[in-house]
């Protein structure tokens, strides 16, 4: 029986850990052909081996979403290996939290480059294929940080809300040619906060994550839900967070 995922070709960025890795494993288990991208080749190679050992089908390409060509290569790999691309999951993201008046301009630029431009590059790589095929699905991983604005997260939330805006615009502009889904996770067990530069902020956020966070697989299941719907059904927005998160 067709489960809505079997045989679909899905590209996933930020797939070396967390939500991206969990999504690749879940979709491959449900019969998707997954093409995974991230910067850490050793992690990608290990993920590919794991999926294949479980009977799944996977390929990988080292992918830095700050480089438009890397996203084009990821999509090209999907087409070369499997002949098409059905879903593009723009998952890669980073966070650098600080008060705006600390003027961490380098941190701002990094978040803009990865969280916003990286998503745009993923969209730019996928849409020509979708136009040619007459179908496709863009899934953008956003954040609850853009839904509730709090101190220290101003620029991070701004990048995520920018993605929320462009996702809705793309959905309206598609006129049914492709589907667009935005998924906003709350606290999730992932490595996202491990790279925050400020030690005090990183420790505080990590403690909250370790207390409240839901597993990355919870987000993967939401992604699978959006993909498995019939072609005429477009799941626009999903917010998924711990029950105890404010």
pLDDT digit string (tens) for 182-202?
999 999 987 777 667 777 777
CATH topology of domain 9-239: Rossmann fold (3.40.50)
DSSP-derived 3-state class of residue 140 = strand
Give the Cβ contact number of residue 233 at 10 Å. Answer: 10
As a whole number of angstroms, the distance between CA 56 and CA 6 comes to 11
Residue 146 has pLDDT above 90, yes or no: no
- pLDDT of residue 123 exceeding 70, the answer is yes
pLDDT of residue 79: 98
Pair of tokens at residue 159: 């990048």
pLDDT band at 207 (very low <50, low <70, confident <90, very high): confident
Q: What's the pTM?
A: 0.94
What are the pLDDT digits (tens) for 11-30? 999 999 999 999 999 999 99
Confidence of residue 102 (pLDDT cuts 50, 70, 90): very high
What's the pLDDT score for residue 190? 78
- Show the tokens assigned to 63: 């992918």
Q: Quick check: 227 pLDDT over 80?
A: yes
pLDDT (0 to 100) of residue 140: 98
The residues near 52 (Cβ < 8 Å, ≥ 6 apart) are 58
The angle, 0 to 180 degrees and rounded to 10, between the axes of the packed helices 118-133 and 154-174 is: 10
CA 23 to each of CA 28, 169, 205, 214, 219: distance values in angstroms, whole numbers, following the listed order:
8, 25, 24, 14, 8
Q: Which of 91, 88, 93 is nearest to 180 (CA)?
A: 88
- Rounded to the nearest integer, the mean pLDDT of the chain is 94
- Give me the active site residues, please: 156
Helix axes 118-133, 68-82, angle to 10 degrees: 30
């Amino acid at each position: 029986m067709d489960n809505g995922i079997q045989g679909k070709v899905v590209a996933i960025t930020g797939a070396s850990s967390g939500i991206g890795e969990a999504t690749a494993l879940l979709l491959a288990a449900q019969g998707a052909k997954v093409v995974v991208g991230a910067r850490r080749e050793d992690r990608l190679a290990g993920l590919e081996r794991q999926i294949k050992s479980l009977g799944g089908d996977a390929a990988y390409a080292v992918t830095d979403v700050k480089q438009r060509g890397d996203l084009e290569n990821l999509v090209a790999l999907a087409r070369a290996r499997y002949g098409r691309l059905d879903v593009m999951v723009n998952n890669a993201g980073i966070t650098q939290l600080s008060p705006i008046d600390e003027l961490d301009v380098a941190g701002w630029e990094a978040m803009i480059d990865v969280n916003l431009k990286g998503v745009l590059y993923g969209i730019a790589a996928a849409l020509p294929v979708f136009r040619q095929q007459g179908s496709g699905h863009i899934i953008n991983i956003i954040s609850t940080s853009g839904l509730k604005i709090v101190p220290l997260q101003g620029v991070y939330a701004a990048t995520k809300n920018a993605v929320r805006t462009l996702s809705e615009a793309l959905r309206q502009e598609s006129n049914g040619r492709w589907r667009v889904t935005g998924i906003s996770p709350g606290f999730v067990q992932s490595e996202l906060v491990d790279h925050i530069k400020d030690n005090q902020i990183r420790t505080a956020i990590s403690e909250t994550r370790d207390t409240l966070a839901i597993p990355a697989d919870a987000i993967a299941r939401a992604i699978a839900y959006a993909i498995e719907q019939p072609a005429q059904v477009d799941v626009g927005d999903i917010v998924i967070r711990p029950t105890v998160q404010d």
